[in-house]
Amino acid sequence: MSQRPMKADEASSFFSALLGQKQNEQLKGKAAQEYESLKALFSSAPGQDLVSSNETVWGAVNAVTYYVDHVRSKAAGDRLNSSWFGSGSAMKEKAWVAANDLLA
C-alpha cells in the first residue's frame, strides 16, 4: 500500500465511496462532514509526511484510522468502543478492503 501512489483526487473518490456516495449524488449531513475531515487528514494526519504515507494508498487508510480512532467521537469511552467493535471498526475494515481492492 505504501508503494501505490494516490493523488488527492483519487483519495477523494476513495473517501466518498467509503462513505456510501452513489454516482451523481452528493453526500449530506454527517457523511459530508466526515468526507471533508478525511480529505483534510489525508494530507495532515500525524505520519502523513512520511514517504510511506504521503500520497499513497497507505496514507488513505491511515487517514481513516486516525479519523476513527482520534477525531470521530469526542468521548474516550465511546471512541474506544466504536474503534474496536462498532461503526468505527466497520469503517476501518471497509477502508482496508477497498485499499486491497485497489492493489488487486
The answer to whether residue 52 is domain-embedded is yes
The answer to whether residue 3 is domain-embedded is no
The answer to whether residue 66 is domain-embedded is yes
The answer to whether residue 47 is domain-embedded is yes
For 34-67, how does the pLDDT look when each residue is reduced to its tens digit (9 = 90+)?
999 999 999 999 989 988 889 999 999 999 999 9
The answer to whether residue 1 is domain-embedded is no
Kindly report the pTM of this predicted structure: 0.85
- How far is 8 from 43, CA to CA, in rounded Å? 9
∠ Cα 67 68 69 (to 5°): 95
Q: Quote the domain boundaries for residue 75.
A: 8-19+27-103
Interval 73-94 mean pLDDT: 79
Strands (E), the chain: none
The answer to whether residue 2 is domain-embedded is no
- Structural domains of the chain, count: 1
- How far is 28 from 49, CA to CA, in rounded Å? 30
